[in-house]
């Protein structure tokens, strides 16, 4: 039986949404960013990739990966970088204890499912690569910390490094050429700010026109606003945002979140040729948040937009009615928000 044995592990990793955006690489091969970034993991929304990995010498080679039932290409440089690093760590264990089964030499079978519909229009590569790295680390019984694994997941997709943690997570850009210090660290667990809520406005479920990978490199190459953002604006905002989170200061959290989203989209517009991710409905959501905040006399809602038109709105539980209630009313009543073009995924109240 020995060499027919199947070894298996399962795990999940969450989708993360950046409130200080990653946009630009100083090393496209290692996914080393030009600036640090910070995300909030939507654990209340429970958007996750579930992944099972198994290995056995009885499996016929080569490695395989299935996502939502469809076979995926494992030969991409990004996936190969992750598998190579994980096998290397396992090999070190096997070399130091020769009684361990030689899992590093066995073909891998990886099966992933997203618990959210592709039609939700959410990027899943971050959760996908984080789950892939975590599950193989578990299968190989590696003792690596989430921060150590984030260095590997980053090579799959930059933003994936932040999905190794829940809650508030910083990806420190690092300065080393080999990327050894470009890793994710926890700023605070989700329990630190239990009143935080998020709402996703699905403006469009269509795949984005310009991929993040090519879009960000076009911005780095052509935008004159970009150096100001990467070198001065973001480093300052990272510190403001960390402090706002630690102080549970929603006013600052909200202001910095909105300004950083706008700064990121401004550099997209300043790219040659320009990149548009937000559309008229996205801009209507911005105006609604502005109106909500004006009516409240303070910042009680904050929007952020990634490389697409969908909005994520952050607010505190005490403002559920004023923020989520209003958006839900409009979703049911206004052209453009309603039906297949607009829907909301809303966080559960705890
Ligand atoms: C972010 N985005 O911080 C930003 C905001 C999109 C807008 O991270 O080339 O898919 O795989 O490293 O991680 C999207 O970029 O790019 C992204 P790669 P990734 O969440």
pLDDT band at 118 (very low <50, low <70, confident <90, very high): low
Element (H, E) at 145: none
Name the average pLDDT for the chain: 91
In this prediction, the answer to ipTM > 0.95 reads: yes
What is the mean pLDDT of the segment spanning 299-317? 95
CA-nearest of 126, 131, 181 to 159 is 126
CB of 343 within 6 A of ligand 1: the answer is no
Of the chain, the percentage scoring pLDDT greater than 90 comes to: 82
Q: Quote the distance between the C-alpha of residue 286 and its chain's center.
A: 22
CB of 212 within 6 A of ligand 1: the answer is yes
- 35 close to 216: Cβ distance less than 8 angstroms: no
CA-nearest of 146, 139, 145, 178 to 161 is 146
Alpha helices (H) along the chain: 77-96, 125-139, 146-156, 212-222, 226-228, 234-246, 250-269, 280-296, 320, 326-333
pLDDT at 332: 56
Residues forming beta bridges with residue 70, ordered by sequence position: 67
The atom of ligand 1 lying closest to the CA of 159 is 13
CB of 217 within 6 A of ligand 1: the answer is no
pLDDT at 348: 35
What is the rounded CA–CA span in Å between residue 290 and residue 301?
Answer: 8
- Position 153 pLDDT exceeds 90: yes
Cα 203 to middle of ligand 1, angstroms: 19
What is the mean pLDDT of the segment spanning 327-344? 49
Cα–Cα–Cα angle for 56, 57, 63, rounded to 5 degrees: 70
Q: Which one-letter DSSP state was computed for residue 166?
A: S
- 109 close to 59: Cβ distance less than 8 angstroms: yes
Look at 26-40, 85-99, 119-133, 225-239 and tell me which has the smallest mean pLDDT: 119-133
Look at 1-5, 279-283, 305-309 and tell me which has the smallest mean pLDDT: 1-5
Residues forming beta bridges with residue 37, ordered by sequence position: 171
CB of 158 within 6 A of ligand 1: the answer is yes
Q: Left, alpha or beta for 170 (phi > 0: left; psi -120 to 50: alpha)?
A: beta
- Span 198-253, pLDDT tens digits: 998 888 877 767 889 999 999 999 999 999 999 999 999 999 999 999 999 999 99
Cα 127 to middle of ligand 1, angstroms: 12
pLDDT band at 96 (very low <50, low <70, confident <90, very high): very high
In sequence order, what DSSP letters do the residues of 182-213 get, joined into one string?
-EEEEEE-GGGSTTEEEEEEES--SPPSS-HH
Backbone angles phi, psi at 314, to 5 degrees: -100, 145
- 43 close to 194: Cβ distance less than 8 angstroms: no
pLDDT band at 350 (very low <50, low <70, confident <90, very high): very low
Cα–Cα–Cα angle for 58, 62, 68, rounded to 5 degrees: 100
What is the rounded CA–CA span in Å between residue 310 and residue 304?
Answer: 9
What SS3 class is residue 81? Answer: helix
The atom of ligand 1 lying closest to the CA of 21 is 3
pLDDT at 328: 78
pLDDT band at 60 (very low <50, low <70, confident <90, very high): confident
pLDDT at 338: 32
pLDDT at 335: 38
- Evaluate if pTM is beyond 0.90: yes
- 25 close to 32: Cβ distance less than 8 angstroms: yes
CB of 18 within 6 A of ligand 1: the answer is yes
Q: Which domains does the chain have, with CATH numbers?
A: 2-190 (3.30.230.10), 196-346 (3.30.70.890)
Strands of the sheet with 183-188, listed across from one edge: 16-20, 37-41, 168-172, 183-188
Q: Is the sign of the CA dihedral 80, 82, 88, 91 positive or negative?
A: negative
- Position 176 pLDDT exceeds 60: yes
- Position 47 pLDDT exceeds 70: yes
What is the mean pLDDT of the segment spanning 269-276? 97
CB of 37 within 6 A of ligand 1: the answer is yes
pLDDT at 56: 97
What is the rounded CA–CA span in Å between residue 99 and residue 120?
Answer: 47
pLDDT at 229: 98
- Position 337 pLDDT exceeds 50: no
What is the mean pLDDT of the segment spanning 41-69? 90
């Amino acid at each position: 039986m020995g060499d027919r044995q199947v070894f298996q592990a399962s795990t999940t990793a969450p989708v993360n949404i950046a409130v200080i955006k990653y946009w630009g690489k100083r090393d496209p091969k290692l996914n080393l960013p030009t600036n640090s970034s910070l995300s909030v993991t939507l654990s209340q929304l429970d958007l996750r990739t579930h992944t099972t990995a198994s290995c056995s010498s009885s499996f016929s080679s080569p490695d395989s990966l299935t996502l939502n039932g469809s076979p995926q290409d494992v030969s991409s440089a990004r996936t190969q970088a992750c598998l190579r690093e994980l096998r290397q760590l396992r090999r070190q264990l096997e070399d130091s204890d020769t009684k361990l089964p030689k899992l590093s030499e066995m073909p891998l079978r990886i099966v992933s499912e997203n618990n959210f519909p592709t039609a939700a229009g959410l990027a899943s590569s971050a959760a996908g690569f984080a789950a892939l790295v975590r599950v193989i680390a578990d299968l190989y019984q590696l003792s690596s910390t989430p921060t150590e694994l984030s260095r590997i997941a980053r090579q799959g997709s930059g933003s994936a490094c932040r999905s190794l943690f829940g809650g508030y997570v910083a990806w420190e850009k690092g300065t080393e050429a080999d990327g050894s210090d470009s890793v994710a660290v926890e700023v605070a667990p989700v329990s630190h700010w239990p009143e935080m809520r998020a709402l996703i406005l699905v403006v469009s479920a269509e795949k984005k026109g310009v991929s993040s990978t090519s879009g960000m490199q076009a911005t780095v190459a052509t935008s004159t606003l970009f150096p100001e953002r990467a070198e001065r604006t973001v480093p300052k905002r990272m510190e403001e945002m960390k402090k706002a989170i630690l102080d549970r200061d929603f006013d600052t959290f909200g202001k910095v979140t909105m300004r950083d989203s706008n700064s990121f989209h401004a550099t997209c517009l300043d790219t040659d040729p320009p990149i548009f991710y937000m559309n008229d409905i996205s801009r209507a959501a911005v105006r609604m948040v502005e109106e909500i905040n004006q009516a409240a006399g303070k910042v009680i809602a904050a929007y952020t937009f990634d490389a697409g038109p969908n909005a994520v709105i952050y607010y505190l539980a005490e403002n559920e009615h004023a923020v989520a209630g209003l958006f839900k009313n409009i979703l049911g009543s206004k052209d453009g928000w309603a039906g297949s073009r607009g829907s909301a995924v809303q966080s559960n109240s705890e």
